[in-house]
A and B are shown apart, each in its own frame.
Chain A
Amino acid sequence: MKKKRISTRNLVLVYSVMILIVAVIFVSVALYFSRTIRAARHAGDTYSAVSSSDVNFSKYYVMISSDRELDFWKSVYKGAYEEGIKKGVCVEMMGENLSEDYSNTELMEIAIASRVDGIIVHADESMEMRNLINEAVYEGIPVVTVYGDSANSLRCCYVGVGSYNLGREYGKQIVKIAREYELSNTTASTHMNDTLKVVALVNSYSDNSNQSLVWSGIQNVVSTENTEIQIELSQAYVDNRNTFTTEESIRDIFRSQETPDVVVCLNETDTNCVYQSLVDYNKVGKSAILGYYDSESILKGISRSVIYSTISVDTYQMGVYCVDAIKEYEEYGYTSQYMLADVTLIDKSNVSDYLSENEEVTE
């Protein structure tokens, strides 16, 4: 009889509890939704790892390079971006989100029209680029050139690798190869050619002083070092006017000419193309590749003995230097004209360090 006894107070209590439960469920659901929506909103942020939305930015710099998809430039951008966050500057890789693929000069125009606070540009020695840099500076926008310079412009700083030193490094590698070649010649019963053909790939349509500096660096070393084998240095011109010509030009070299003993590549794309061509034409071991940059595929090429050695540029450091240079210029009105990033040689002996490093990074 007692079980059915429900007093008014109990009933009100139970009802209140029910209402409370309903309210709590709804509030939690609402919280869940608002969180999901907020999370979706933040999907637009570039680097979610470094929560950029928490930083108060005061300046807006852009980085301009038409090769932004390469690991090389990604790494440079990363350096600049992270340095920017430290300094309260938002650095954007220009053209990344655009539907159209603009050239460096067009991007420069956009940047100037957008009145950004600073421009980091992969420049060249063309007239057009020089004028644009000058225009930007007239508009009060400091310009830093990176990796490629426009020496006669009003840019405040050039950040890059010491091209002459780079050339010397290549030269040393060439000499080393020559010595190894000699050794194999003496031990081998058949006497082979006594000249070592070295081809350096140079871009035909960029008036880049770096290339010549590298070239002279190579020449300098090769001429000073005495080798029994004669080293024949030559340049091959690679058409880089538009997107796909590089690859075609390189394949042409391998098809038409006699296969060189050493191929010197001065950028990441060239290295990759030569590497692939060598594999495709079954000439692995016949040519030694002196590569550029330490991307994953290049490092793999070294470990597989397709690429002889490569030059690793501290690209991250380059990015950092760029931001530092503009910041310094803004503060003091001047900055050092040149900033050089560290360069390291990677060959079979130390490639494993870089490979594991890169793997760690990708992990």
Chain B
Amino acid sequence: MREKSTKPANSLQLKLSIIFIMASILIFIVNAMLIFGINTMTREMDAVYRDNLKLNELAEALADVQNNMTDYLNTKTSDSLERYYKSEQDYYKLVYELNNSVTGDTYDLMEKNIRNMSNEYIQTTGYAIEAKRGRNVERYSAEFDKASRLYNYINTYINSLNNERFKSNSSNFSELLSAFRFFETISIVMMVAALLGSSVFVIGFTSSIIDPIRKLAKSADEVAKGNFEIETLEIRTNDEIGVVTKAFNKMVASIREYIEQIKENMEHERKMQEKELRIESTLKEAQLKYLQTQINPHFLFNTLNAGAQLAMMEEAEKTYDYIQNTAEFFRYNVREGNTTVKLADEISLIDHYIYILNVRFSGDIKYEKDIDESLTDILMPSMILQPIVENSINHGIKEMEGRGKITLRVYSEDDNVFISVKDNGIGMTQETIDKVLSGELTEEEKAAPVGAHGIGMDNVIKRLRLFTDREDSVSIVSEGEGKGTEVIIKLTNGGSENV
């Protein structure tokens, strides 16, 4: 429906029609001219000898009159008389057509003379016939003599005129002939020129129509081969081809767009998969490392449980608690599979860990918590906080002989949940912080402070970054040597729940 309303101004049909009609008109005109020229020529050629024919007719008619008159005068038969009258009539008719006016043309004058003499002649023959009828011998022979003389004169005139006309007509004719030749040459030249001209224009014009089609075909071929990176076709005309070309351009652009979109989607999906794989693999790595450091956690756990029961039976409360905490701590580590845990679980692991350490180091570490309980359901990767705390103790406050202090804070700001592990230990230089965050610590540097579990900070940071998908998920703040260190984990509130 729409196409009908926007019908191209110069439709293909119109163009083609113009080509053929124009070519036909050109050829028609050339032909018409040729026919006209040939007709004119023929007419002229005809006219050249028409006069001669007429004069010959006249001469014959005159001879008839003379013969019939002579015949009658000889034989006096009514038959010859009849023939005489008939021939006289014929001759008179012919004579009547001759020129009777005075012009400057010699031939016209000769015609006039022939006409006048003929009238005289007819009159004279009439008298002769009359005299013969009246048996006036003297008179009719005199009239016959006069008529004969006139007959000779007229004949001479006719012959002369015929001759002269023939002479001038012959020169006319040769001129006509040369003109005809000239015309022939011109005609051939014109015909060839018209042929060449129309050929050139037909070829030019059809190629102007065909060219866009050819380009379109080439482009379509390219597209069929799968190459969408083709140049946009130029739309030159306003006809059907123009419309098709426009549509083709649009189609190619649309296809390109769709392909781009699909590619993007695929890329995104691939990234997601990769991320998950990496998360899993790092966790596996952490667990592997952990397992490498443990002989047999399950055995240890069971052993500890047995120890706790034993302490219970001996009513040694403190021992029981200690063993129980230790058992809890190890149980957390030997849980099967869960890569993601709730924040509360991590916090309770810290609690156990700190308890154990305090027992070990006889209450040297002060441990403070400032936790927004509403945020403890948030999900996060497991085995994150413990290594950090371990790190803080090992690097920060191990040497502080009872003055060390760990502060764990959980709070929210905007959409983010912050988990802060702060110590008042030896602190870190900005250089070290940068190195840690960018994971550029050497093996040696890493190795030295590694705690019992051996899970390094770089592993923690990597996992957190993978989990949260943001670079700033871990930050370390230290005001300098001896001023303590704060590790802040930033999680998106609720955003990670579905991971």
Which A residues lie at the B interface, using CB under 8 A? 1, 4-6, 8, 11-12, 14-15, 18-19, 22-23, 25-26, 29-30, 32-33, 36-37, 40-41, 43-46, 51-55, 57-60, 90, 92, 97-100, 102, 106, 109-110, 113-117
Contacts and interface: CB of A to CB of B under 8 A. Distances in A.
Nearest to B193: A22
Given A40-B171, A110-B157, 10 more contacts: A4-B208, A8-B14, A11-B19, A12-B18, A36-B179, A37-B172, A41-B172, A44-B165, A97-B110, A99-B160
Nearest to B189: A25
B33 A26 contact: yes
A281 to B, nearest CB: 40
B33 A37 contact: no
A195 to B, nearest CB: 52
A261 B52 CA distance: 57
Interface string B241-281: 00000000000000000000000000000000000000000
Contact of B104 (A5, A15, A33, A46): A46
A43 B168 contact: yes
Interface in B104-121: 104-107, 109-110, 112-113, 116-117, 120-121
Interface in B186-201: 186, 190, 193-194, 197, 201
Interface stretch (B77-85, B148-156, B410-418): B148-156
Contacts of B204: 4, 6, 11
Interface size bracket, B side? 35 or more
B415 to A, nearest CB: 58
A52 B104 contact: yes
B401 to A, nearest CB: 88
Given A6-B205, A97-B110, A99-B156, A53 B44 contact: no
A355 B468 CA distance: 137
Contact of B150 (A32, A55, A113, A117): A113
Contacts of A8: 10, 14-15, 18
B211 A4 contact: yes
A12 B22 contact: yes
B191 to A, nearest CB: 10
B438 interface: no
A33 B201 contact: no
Contacts of B37: 26, 29-30, 33
Nearest to A23: B29
A25 B190 contact: yes
Contacts of A33: 37, 40-41, 179, 183
Across the A-B interface, give the 9 residue pairs with the lowest CB-CB distance, nearest first: A52-B104, A114-B113, A57-B102, A40-B172, A26-B33, A15-B22, A115-B116, A113-B117, A60-B102
Contacts of A97: 106, 110, 160-161, 164
Nearest to A55: B104
Given A22-B29, A52-B104, A97-B160, A29 B44 contact: no
Contacts of B182: 29
Interface string B1-44: 00000000010001100110010011001100100110011001
Nearest to B186: A29
15 contacts: A8-B10, A15-B26, A22-B194, A37-B175, A44-B106, A60-B102, A60-B112, A90-B102, A90-B104, A97-B161, A110-B113, A110-B153, A114-B113, A114-B117, A117-B102
A100 B204 CA distance: 71
B171 A43 contact: yes
A90 B153 contact: no
Interface in B216-248: 234, 236
Nearest to A26: B33
B176 A57 contact: no
Contacts of A109: 149, 153
Contacts of A55: 104
Contacts of A92: 106, 109
A25 B183 CA distance: 11
A113 B160 CA distance: 17
Contact of B186 (A18, A25, A115): A25
B192 to A, nearest CB: 12
Given A11-B201, A19-B25, A25-B190, A110 B104 contact: no
B172 A53 contact: no
B312 to A, nearest CB: 97
